[in-house]
């Protein structure tokens, strides 16, 4: 198996200016996908790579016709997609099997909708179960199977309908390493040797190595909102060797592309899309903070200091066993606090960053406190707590404000991160039982070592 199937010239899927906004209970809409234009051709295995929460699943749902874009067009073989596309099938991260049906019944289910008769369904399903390594398990129930076996059922069910387009939403990320690796190789084998009639595969992932290992093209999305920031061919022959120089170089390069830009900052300035711009100015009043854990931040900065103050993000990630998705919030936090600069995949400590690494815990708290003075969310919290006679406010109050700017999930994550940081920096206390944020006596008087309390500039 040396090369991917032949690539045809008429696109299977064509997205033109696909934009998706989610309406919020109040007047603020959330822009998730911004002007996505993309063609996928028969013969291609495309990986769609982006940080979590960027809108990958949303895009996949739009492509398979399960959801409609707010603006823009989706064409399948040149025809507009107006409902669930019978030529597309989906494999989910969570397997999504029916627990009360046997393995065979789960696989047959897709064929019922296609109107095939009982015998056809049974023969076809049994053949697929065999192909995918599940013979002997026909009458078992999902709960009797390991995660890896359940995902095999997920694949068999998707393949049962002979999909032209096989969509997979992080299909390997709920599996342990070895199981995932086996399934990846087996799927590649089915695809490359044309044992399945599938014309194109679209795999959503947040794993860079996984994308480079499997796909022959990688489309990279930014976050807040999702835009296509790169579209790269993967010219490596199959089977790919993760240890080869070419493989490592390409992973390193994709890492640089993914980490090389800060779309939160950028989107506030850019105005090439007027409809998006209106939404963004509303949102810009409270910029999202990255979900960096402060203990991880300290660990990362110390590691980089040991390396002389600079290191490659890809190396750091693999050393700390962090996927780029988990590493990015930490490096973004380091940048937000002016402790490090990230450029072209390298992280370099600033003078303040060096000072931080050498400092004791109290001094570290002071440095973070000083940096938080410039973060709008903390100015808001501080202003509210100071203006109250009892210097206390329920978490719910801030949640409500945040939900005017972010989705419900995002608002919760923003607030939990803010509470974590604020407690570490001794800016305020939080009582988990009463869910109250409050200022203790010393915090009410606190002036950050001679500077005035947090205030609007
Ligand atoms: P990904 O798959 O890349 O992790 P998703 O497509 O699941 O991202 O979500 C992208 C963003 O859209 C997230 O901020 C999420 O909270 C938001 N979102 C997803 N579905 C809905 C919905 N039904 N209503 C409101 N917001 C949503
Ligand atoms: Mg998703």
Ligand 1 nearest atom to the CA of residue 52, by list position: 4
Q: What residue owns the CA closest to ligand 1's atom 15?
A: 53
Q: What is the pTM of this model?
A: 0.69
Q: How far apart are CA 205 and CA 214, in angstroms?
A: 11
Q: Which ligand does the CA of 48 lie closest to?
A: 1
Q: What residue owns the CA closest to ligand 1's atom 27?
A: 22
Fold entry, domain 284-358: Arc Repressor Mutant, subunit A (1.10.10)
Ligand 1 nearest atom to the CA of residue 59, by list position: 6
Find where tokens 């700017």 sit. 405
Report the separation in Å between the CA atom of 208 and the middle of ligand 2, taken as the mean of its atom positions. Answer: 15
Rg (CA), the chain: 25
Q: Which ligand does the CA of 21 lie closest to?
A: 1
Domain edges within the chain? 13-87+163-259, 284-358, 372-457
Report the separation in Å between the CA atom of 31 and the middle of ligand 1, taken as the mean of its atom positions. Answer: 10
pLDDT tens, residue order, the chain (457 aa): 445 566 677 899 999 999 999 887 766 788 999 999 999 999 999 999 998 889 999 999 999 999 999 999 999 999 999 999 999 999 998 888 999 999 999 999 878 877 788 898 999 999 999 999 898 999 999 999 999 999 999 999 999 999 999 999 999 988 888 889 999 999 999 999 999 999 999 999 988 999 999 999 999 999 889 999 999 999 999 999 999 999 999 998 898 888 764 344 334 333 343 333 333 333 346 778 998 888 889 999 999 999 999 998 888 888 887 877 788 889 999 999 999 998 878 899 999 999 999 999 999 999 999 999 888 889 889 888 988 889 999 999 899 888 877 888 888 999 999 999 999 999 999 999 999 999 988 888 765 443 444 544 3
HEC per residue, 6-39: CCCCCCCEEEEEEEEEEECCCCCEEEEEEEEEEE
Q: How far apart are CA 311 and CA 270, in angstroms?
A: 30
Report the separation in Å between the CA atom of 428 and the middle of ligand 1, taken as the mean of its atom positions. Answer: 31
From residue 410, give the alpha-carbon distance in Å to each of 77, 139, 145, 183, 309.
Answer: 36, 42, 34, 32, 33
Q: What residue owns the CA closest to ligand 1's atom 25?
A: 22
Tokens of 62: 């739009």
pLDDT at 61: 96
pLDDT at 26: 66
Collapsed DSSP state (helix, strand, coil) of residue 147: helix
Ligand 1 nearest atom to the CA of residue 221, by list position: 3
103 and 140 Cβ atoms separated by less than 8 Å: yes
Residue of 21, 28, 29, 32 to mutate, ligand 1, most atoms within 8 A of C-beta: 32
12 and 40 Cβ atoms separated by less than 8 Å: yes
Report the separation in Å between the CA atom of 108 and the middle of ligand 2, taken as the mean of its atom positions. Answer: 26
Q: What is the pLDDT of residues 135-144, one digit of tens each?
A: 899 999 999 9
pLDDT at 439: 92
Q: Which ligand does the CA of 283 lie closest to?
A: 1
Q: What is the pLDDT of residues 137-183, one digit of tens each?
A: 999 999 999 999 999 999 999 999 999 999 999 999 888 888 899 99
Tokens of 224: 């807040």
Residue of 48, 58, 62 to mutate, ligand 1, most atoms within 8 A of C-beta: 58
Q: Which ligand does the CA of 22 lie closest to?
A: 1
pLDDT at 269: 37
304 and 342 Cβ atoms separated by less than 8 Å: no
For 416, the enclosing helix (H) or strand (E) is helix 408-424
Q: Which ligand does the CA of 55 lie closest to?
A: 1
Residue of 21, 36, 57 to mutate, ligand 1, most atoms within 8 A of C-beta: 57
Report the separation in Å between the CA atom of 390 and the middle of ligand 1, taken as the mean of its atom positions. Answer: 37
Report the separation in Å between the CA atom of 133 and the middle of ligand 1, taken as the mean of its atom positions. Answer: 34
Q: Which residues contact 178 (CB under 8 A, 6 or more apart)?
A: none
Average pLDDT, the chain: 86
Report the separation in Å between the CA atom of 156 and the middle of ligand 1, taken as the mean of its atom positions. Answer: 27
Q: How far apart are CA 137 and CA 141, in angstroms?
A: 8
For 314, the enclosing helix (H) or strand (E) is helix 313-319
Which DSSP symbol is given to 88?
E
Q: What residues line ligand 1, using a CB cutoff of 6 Å? A: 22, 30, 32, 50, 52-58, 407, 409-410
Report the separation in Å between the CA atom of 104 and the middle of ligand 2, taken as the mean of its atom positions. Answer: 27
Report the separation in Å between the CA atom of 37 and the middle of ligand 2, taken as the mean of its atom positions. Answer: 19
Helices (H), 320-407: 324-336, 351-358, 361-372, 376-387, 395-403
Ligand 1 nearest atom to the CA of residue 54, by list position: 3
pLDDT at 420: 93
Strand order in the sheet with 436-438: 392-394, 436-438, 429-431
HEC per residue, 210-254: HHHHHCCEEEEECCCCECEEEEEECCCCCCCCCCCHHHHHHHHHH
Q: How far apart are CA 255 and CA 253, in angstroms?
A: 5
Quick one: what percent of the chain has pLDDT higher than 70? Answer: 89
CATH class of the 13-87+163-259 domain in this structure:
alpha beta
Q: What is the pLDDT of residues 208-255, one digit of tens each?
A: 999 999 999 999 999 889 999 999 999 999 999 999 999 999 998 898
pLDDT at 341: 92
């Amino acid at each position: 198996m040396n090369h991917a199937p032949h690539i045809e010239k008429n696109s299977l899927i064509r997205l033109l200016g696909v934009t998706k906004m989610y309406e919020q209970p109040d007047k603020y809409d959330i822009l998730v996908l911004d002007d996505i234009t993309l063609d996928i051709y028969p013969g291609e295995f495309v990986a769609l790579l982006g940080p979590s929460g960027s809108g990958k699943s949303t895009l996949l749902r739009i492509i398979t016709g399960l959801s409609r874009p707010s603006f823009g067009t989706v064409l399948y073989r040149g025809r507009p997609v107006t409902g669930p596309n019978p030529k597309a099938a989906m494999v989910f991260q969570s397997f999504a099997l029916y627990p009360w049906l046997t393995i065979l019944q789960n696989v047959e289910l897709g064929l019922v909708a296609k109107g095939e008769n009982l015998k056809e369904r049974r023969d076809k399903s049994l053949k697929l179960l065999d192909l995918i390594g599940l013979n002997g398990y026909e009458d078992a129930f999902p709960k009797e199977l390991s995660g890896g076996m359940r995902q095999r059922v997920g694949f068999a069910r998707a393949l049962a309908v002979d999909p032209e387009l096989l969509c997979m939403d992080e299909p390997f990320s709920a599996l342990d390493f070895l199981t995932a690796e086996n399934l990846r190789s087996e799927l590649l084998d089915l695809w490359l040797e044309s044992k399945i009639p599938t014309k194109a595969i679209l795999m959503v992932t947040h794993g860079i190595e996984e994308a480079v290992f499997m796909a022959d093209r990688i489309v990279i999305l930014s976050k807040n909102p999702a835009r296509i920031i790169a579209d790269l061919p993967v010219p490596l022959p199959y089977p790919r060797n993760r240890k080869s120089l070419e493989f490592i170089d390409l992973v390193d390069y994709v890492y640089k592309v993914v980490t090389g830009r800060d779309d939160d900052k950028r989107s506030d300035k850019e105005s090439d899309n007027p409809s998006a711009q209106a939404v963004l100015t509303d949102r810009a009043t409270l910029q999202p903070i990255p979900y960096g854990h402060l203990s991880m931040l300290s660990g990362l900065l110390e590691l980089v200091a040991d390396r002389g103050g600079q290191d490659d993000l890809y190396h750091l990630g693999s050393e700390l066993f962090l996927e780029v998705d988990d590493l990015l919030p930490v490096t973004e936090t380091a940048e937000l606090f002016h402790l490090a600069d990230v450029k072209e995949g390298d992280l370099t400590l600033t003078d303040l960053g060096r000072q931080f690494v050498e400092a004791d815990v109290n001094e570290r708290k002071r440095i973070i406190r000083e940096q938080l003075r410039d973060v709008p969310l903390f100015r808001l919290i501080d202003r509210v707590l100071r203006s109250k006679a009892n210097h206390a406010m329920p978490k719910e109050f801030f949640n409500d404000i945040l939900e005017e700017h972010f989705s419900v999930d995002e608002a919760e994550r923003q607030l939990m991160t803010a509470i974590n940081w604020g407690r570490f920096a001794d800016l305020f206390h939080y009582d988990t039982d009463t869910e109250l944020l409050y200022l203790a006596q010393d915090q009410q008087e606190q002036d950050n070592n001679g500077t005035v309390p947090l205030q609007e500039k």
